[in-house]
């Protein structure tokens, strides 16, 4: 009960908000929420939830390698995620073999990451944070890296959004209409990879799905409009990641615990709302 009371210690929370590292973490989280919210509906539409998990494992591997050699964890995670995304996009072009490719890359990334952590006997807290997230390690240079990466992802996404949405909703018709799906698939995988790497800072490699998938799945339950789904997914992702950081401050608990809880509660609420709307629509009288 004492640990639970710390979660709602708002005085301590307000005091901690005055620290620069908390403010920097909130800025980084806001950028992550915006990017992940924009990508999440497309991830759900393209059925890439498993791919996000596989990408996160190689982001973890890249971060572990950077930690071992004393380089920037953010750059390492970004490099690992981009490599994973390119492998997934190039090797998983055929839908029939996509799951097996993801499984192979996921297990490879996790195995190499664990080995790299074993080679580094020190910095235990940093190693743990790669898996479950930690805001203490976010500094001003990390905020610049995260913000810059987020801007690049959003600009590229804005440029390819219409053909990408078309290819996500009906890939066969899109291919027949001349949409370059073979180019868009690895490109979108890279965008997802970059966004996934950004999530290593806050929610960690293991639970980044809470921002890259769950907001999009929740939004899809309450609207069929791509634009509304994107707006809702951004809102859900921001509430989850910023709320998760705020709730984690007083008890000093891992951010990912609160982010995933908030994200899942939002999903359950949207699922209930969607089910109620569907039931009301089925009971509505058919016009003569």
Q: What is the DSSP string of 131-193?
A: HH--STT--HHHHHHHHHHHHHHHHHHHHHHHHHHHHHH-HHHHHHTT--HHHHHHHHHHHHH
pTM here is 0.84
Distance CA 76, CA 199 (A): 13
Hey, what are 112's tokens? 């190499």
Q: Which run of H or of E encompasses 116?
A: helix 95-119
User: Nearest-CA neighbor of 257 among 4, 36, 44, 60?
Assistant: 4
* Residues present in the chain in total: 288
Distance CA 121, CA 146 (A): 28
> Rounded to whole angstroms, what are the CA distances from 25 to 90, 190, 243, 284?
34, 24, 12, 48
Give the separation between CA 141 and CA 75, rounded to whole angstroms: 11
Three-state DSSP at 18 gives coil
Give pLDDT, residue 240.
92
Residue 226 near residue 41, CB atoms below 8 Å? yes
- DSSP assignment, residue 287? P
Nearest to 49 by CA among 210, 267, 170, 180: 210
Question: Along the 288 residues of the chain, how does pLDDT read in single tens digits?
Answer: 555 555 666 677 778 787 787 888 888 888 888 999 999 999 998 888 777 877 777 887 887 888 788 777 777 878 888 787 777 766 665 666 667 777 777 788 778 887 887 787 665 555 556 666 666 666 677 778 778 888 999 999 999 999 888 888 887 787 788 888 778 887 888 888 888 877 776 677 667 778 889 999 999 999 989 899 999 999 999 999 898 888 888 777 778 788 889 999 999 999 999 888 877 777 766 555
Token readout for 116 is 């790299």
b/e burial code for range 261-286 (CB count within 10 A of at least 16 → b): ebbeebbeebeeeeeeeeeeeeeeee
- State both tokens at 226: 């791509």
CB 146 within 8 A of CB 201: yes
How many whole angstroms separate alpha carbon 59 and alpha carbon 83? 9
User: What integer pLDDT is reported at residue 7 of this predicted model?
Assistant: 60
């Amino acid at each position: 009960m004492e640990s639970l009371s710390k979660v709602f210690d708002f005085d301590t929370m307000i005091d901690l908000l005055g620290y620069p590292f908390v403010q920097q973490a909130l800025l980084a989280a806001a950028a992550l929420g915006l990017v992940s919210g924009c990508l999440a509906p497309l991830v759900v539409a393209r059925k890439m939830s498993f791919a996000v998990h596989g990408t996160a494992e190689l982001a973890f591997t890249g971060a572990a390698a950077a930690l071992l050699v004393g380089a920037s964890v953010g750059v390492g995670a970004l490099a690992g995620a981009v490599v994973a995304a390119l492998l997934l996009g190039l090797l998983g072009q055929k839908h029939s073999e996509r799951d097996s490719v993801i499984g192979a890359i996921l297990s490879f990334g996790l195995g190499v990451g664990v080995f790299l952590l074993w080679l580094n006997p020190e910095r235990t807290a940093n190693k743990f944070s790669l898996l479950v997230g930690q805001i203490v390690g976010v500094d001003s240079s990390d905020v610049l890296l995260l913000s810059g990466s987020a801007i690049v992802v959003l600009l590229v996404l804005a440029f390819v959004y219409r053909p990408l949405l078309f290819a996500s909703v009906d890939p066969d018709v899109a291919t027949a209409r001349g949409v370059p799906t073979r180019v868009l698939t690895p490109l979108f995988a890279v965008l997802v990879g970059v966004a996934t790497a950004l999530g290593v800072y806050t929610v960690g490699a293991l639970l980044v799905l809470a921002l890259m998938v769950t907001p999009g799945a929740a939004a899809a339950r309450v609207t069929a409009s791509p634009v509304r789904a994107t707006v809702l997914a951004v809102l859900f992702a921001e509430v989850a990641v910023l709320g998760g950081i705020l709730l984690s401050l007083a008890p000093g608990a891992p951010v990912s615990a609160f982010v995933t809880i908030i994200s899942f509660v939002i999903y359950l609420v949207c699922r209930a709302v969607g089910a109620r709307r569907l039931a009301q629509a089925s009971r509505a009288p058919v016009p003569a």
